[in-house]
Structure 1
């Protein structure tokens, strides 16, 4: 009997010790070694190898802890044989013995000054406790963005881009175009761009998708989109169909119509005459591509 109690007490002490060793992401420092974190994998994407056909050069992940802090981590392709089975989006894991470096990349998709690098000595294990929210959204305030109230090049989460210019690149633009082409005319469309890069120029706020690191939600059945739709359309039990159609008709038109209707187009000759620094849309015909230029 006494031995059984002793073993039980030892296990409990061990669990308490493990929990006390957890370091929050906001407290990480480049001088730390053998640190243990408990996080959710919010986003994951692979960087292809340019030397091995269908190979993976590295895997990039965005991690979030229970405080809501986020950080980017890199797993070199050489170490995937050990870690890949634990790298699953939305899963929760413990990570220990990783390197901490400066977050200096031009394509960084998190704001902290540091990023993590997993090596073969790192350990990744499954965590059976939910860490933070499933999607890890931290929606930015419109007024703060429009008034240039945040540092330049900050990475933000944005919903319902009213009066803020949003640029979607590559697969994100294709995702939106596909959705818009198949939606019904009277559908209310709510968009969330997660991990978008913020800039402010010429008195206007701009947000763009970040390489492969952004997430684009279009009318997804998640709490933030449902709540935003309800704020636009009101409670269906207290609004008439005609009122809901009116609200829907006042929402932004399609990207194509908005671009063609509200953009001011310039010719190459016009651009050469402009003396002030400004953004322009140039129309022209591509005659040829110069060889050797990417």
Structure 2
């Protein structure tokens, strides 16, 4: 990969395609071809960078042979020259207005050099949620402990 400088998700710029990102695949899911439950049209991924930011990424079926062997949940990858575009989906998985796509000029390499968060969630106390100190559009999950009587 020509560009060894890592670009964080917060610094991505749609006017440039010459960047490398280091990200861990947090989750993956498939979109099937219209009218066919046997064929996959696209693989979508949720990626996390070393700052703990998230972005959605996709790979179309035309490029599966090239990239599918690298796309493994919990693996850390270097993505060089992915395409960045506006996320026009109705449901934003990350709250981010942009998403990445792997295309013909992209390249992917596996790396073991991960210094980012170990987990893909952040803890916050319930009082912060109630007092609205959590940033707007931040996904939160609620865990209820069983009540022992």
**Could you tell me the TM-score, scaled by structure 1's length?**
0.46
- Who is 2:76 aligned against? 92
Shift of residue 144, structure 1, vs aligned partner: 3.6
Distance 1:51 1:119, change over 3 A: farther
Task: State the alpha-carbon separation in 1 of the partners of residues 15 and 98 from structure 2.
Answer: 11
Runs (5+) with no aligned partner, structure 1: 1-13, 162-187, 190-246, 250-294
The structure whose residues are more often strand, as a share, is 2
Task: State the alpha-carbon separation in 1 of the partners of residues 124 and 88 from structure 2.
Answer: 23
Shift of residue 52, structure 1, vs aligned partner: 4.0
Shift of residue 53, structure 1, vs aligned partner: 4.4
Runs (5+) with no aligned partner, structure 2: none
**1:76 aligns to 2:76 (yes or no):** no
3-state DSSP of counterpart to 1:80: helix
**1:113 aligns to 2:97 (yes or no):** yes
3-state DSSP of counterpart to 1:158: coil
3-state DSSP of counterpart to 1:72: strand
- Who is 1:248 aligned against? 148
| Equivalence map 1:254-293=2 (5 Å) | none
Task: State the alpha-carbon separation in 2 of the partners of residues 95 and 101 from structure 1.
Answer: 15
Q: Please say if residues 83 and 124 of structure 1, whose CA atoms lie closer than 8 Å, have aligned partners that are also in contact.
A: yes
Distance 1:121 1:110, change over 3 A: same
The structure whose residues are more often helix, as a share, is 1
- Who is 2:109 aligned against? 125
| Equivalence map 1:63-212=2 (5 Å) | 63-149=47-133, 150-151=135-136, 154-161=137-144
Q: Please say if residues 39 and 131 of structure 1, whose CA atoms lie closer than 8 Å, have aligned partners that are also in contact.
A: no
Q: Please say if residues 51 and 117 of structure 2, whose CA atoms lie closer than 8 Å, have aligned partners that are also in contact.
A: no
CA displacement, residues 110-133 of structure 1 (integer Å, 9 cap, x when unaligned): 022211111122111101212423
3-state DSSP of counterpart to 2:18: coil
Task: State the alpha-carbon separation in 2 of the partners of residues 140 and 56 from structure 1.
Answer: 37
Measured on the aligned residues, the alpha-carbon RMSD in Å equals 2.2
Task: State the alpha-carbon separation in 1 of the partners of residues 130 and 93 from structure 2.
Answer: 21
- Who is 1:29 aligned against? 13
Task: Say which one has the larger Rg.
Answer: 1
Shift of residue 84, structure 1, vs aligned partner: 0.6
- Who is 1:50 aligned against? 34
Q: Please say if residues 140 and 158 of structure 1, whose CA atoms lie closer than 8 Å, have aligned partners that are also in contact.
A: no
**Number of equivalenced pairs:** 147
